[in-house]
């Protein structure tokens, strides 16, 4: 039996039934909530490992549910919503969501997102238990010494490139929005900051992928942000 406990927050009964059937078939444990108030109560009392959250709930907007849960928990939240506009995705991610799945979605895609989130959870636990060194494929970041290595050769990074690499490394598998990144780098998020961010991200990507362009470490989500991919 899979020990991962998932909270399904969805008021559309057919969609909820599809998710319940899928999770049950793959041996996940799950709880359900039909509205935001119940979702917050279930999250606080049962401490789920992952939350699948619809944004269009009958009693409150899913964005508000994210914000309330984020006041006391870092549980991964995957948005499942019919809202497909970039600004909806950005708002949800900036509020604290970890990933975004647009309806209609395939069962395979839902399961893939859950596996990525589970891996990130396990990596986070292992990182806490072990040390301040992050390893992903040929990339190694030593947070305590402030050095990064690729294929055991030290990378020559500018201070901003290193800061970006650390932010991405500490959030593997999670889409980090332009706003989140620029605020963490420069302390504010103005329009020209996003243009600067693109330049720094391009140079960082070149340094990461110069020897092996077939391996993608940083994924671009156009209009939204960037994600560090897990590389075997």
pLDDT of residue 19: 95
Average pLDDT over residues 16-20: 95
Average pLDDT over residues 29-53: 93
d(CA 159, CA 176): 19
| pLDDT > 70 in the chain, percent | 94
Asked if the model's pLDDT at residue 125 lies above 70, the reply is no
Average pLDDT over residues 123-130: 60
Of the listed ranges 121-130, 139-148, 177-186, 209-218, the least confidently predicted one is 121-130
pLDDT of residue 41: 92
Asked if the model's pLDDT at residue 130 lies above 60, the reply is no
Q: What one-character-per-residue DSSP string does 55-76 give?
A: SB-SSSBHHHHHHHHHTT----
Residues 17 and 114 in one domain: yes
Do the bridges between strand 133-136 and strand 99-102 make them parallel or antiparallel, or are there none, so unpaired?
unpaired
Residues 32 and 116 in one domain: yes
What CATH number does the domain containing 32 carry?
A: 3.40.50.2300
Of the listed ranges 135-139, 177-181, 213-217, the least confidently predicted one is 213-217
Residues 11 and 101 in one domain: yes
pLDDT of residue 218: 93
- At residue 129 the predicted structure's pLDDT band, cuts being 50, 70 and 90, is very low
Q: How many domains does the chain have?
A: 2
pLDDT of residue 124: 66
What CATH number does the domain containing 167 carry?
A: 1.10.10.10
d(CA 125, CA 208): 25
pLDDT of residue 126: 61
Average pLDDT over residues 27-35: 95
Query: Model pTM?
Result: 0.63
| pLDDT > 90 in the chain, percent | 48
On whether residue 126 sits in a domain, the answer given is no
Which residue segment(s) compose the domain that 53 sits in? 5-121
Q: Are 173 and 119 in contact (CB under 8 A)?
A: yes
């Amino acid at each position: 039996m899979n020990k991962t406990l998932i909270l399904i927050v969805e008021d559309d009964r057919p969609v909820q039934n599809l998710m319940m059937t899928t999770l049950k078939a793959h041996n996940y444990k799950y709880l359900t909530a039909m509205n935001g108030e119940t979702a917050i109560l279930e999250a606080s009392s049962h401490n789920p490992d992952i939350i699948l959250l619809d944004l269009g709930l009958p009693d409150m907007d899913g964005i508000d549910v994210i914000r309330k849960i984020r006041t006391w928990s870092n549980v991964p939240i995957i948005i499942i919503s019919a809202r497909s506009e970039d600004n909806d995705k950005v708002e949800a991610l900036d509020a604290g969501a970890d990933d975004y799945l647009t309806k209609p979605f395939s069962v395979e895609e839902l399961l893939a997102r859950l596996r990525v989130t589970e891996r990130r959870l396990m990596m986070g636990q292992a990182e806490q238990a072990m040390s301040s060194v992050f390893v992903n494929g040929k990339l190694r970041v030593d947070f305590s010494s402030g050095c990064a290595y690729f294929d055991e050769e030290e990378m020559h990074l500018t201070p901003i490139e290193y800061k970006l690499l650390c932010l991405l490394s500490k959030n593997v598998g999670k889409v980090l929005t332009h706003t989140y990144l620029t605020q963490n780098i420069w302390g504010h998020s103005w329009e020209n900051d996003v243009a600067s961010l693109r330049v720094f991200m391009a140079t960082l990507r070149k340094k990461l992928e110069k020897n092996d362009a077939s391996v993608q470490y940083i994924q671009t989500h156009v209009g939204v942000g960037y994600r560090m991919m897990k590389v075997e």
